[in-house]
Amino acid sequence: MTVIPLLEIKLAMALSLFMFGGIALIIGVFILVARSTGREVRNLANQTAQLAKKGLAEEVAGLIGNATSLLSATNDLVRTTSGVGVFLSVLGFILIIASCWLILRVEPTNIPF
């Protein structure tokens, strides 16, 4: 039976935390940069604004109400996407800091198992 030293277990844990933190940080930044300012969201907002202008010009009340609710939903979508990106970025930083703290706390021990 192979015995794994405690030092190697702690180092593996720290490395895992660092990798998961790095992945979470990269995904969070990608979401913040790419998703919240996506081309589709901007196109949807522009077309909704054009619909609202057309509704005002032709005095169609239902069209204006629907365009307004669509703009509101688009704004909520952008806020939600940004919130997820910020959460993942903060989680990544916390995991990286925890892994650094764990590495600094690792002390070689001579305790036999």
In a domain, 113, yes or no: no
In a domain, 64, yes or no: yes
Digit-coded pLDDT (tens) for 69-90? 766 776 676 677 778 888 999 9
At how many degrees (to 10) do helices 61-105 and 39-58 cross?
A: 160
Higher pLDDT pick, 107 / 99? 99
In a domain, 74, yes or no: yes
**Where does the pLDDT of residue 26 fall: very low under 50, low under 70, confident under 90, or very high at 90 and above?**
very high
In a domain, 112, yes or no: no
What is the C-alpha to C-alpha distance for residues 55 and 49, in angstroms, rounded to an integer?
10
Q: Domain span at residue 95? A: 6-104
**pTM exceeds cut of 0.85:** no
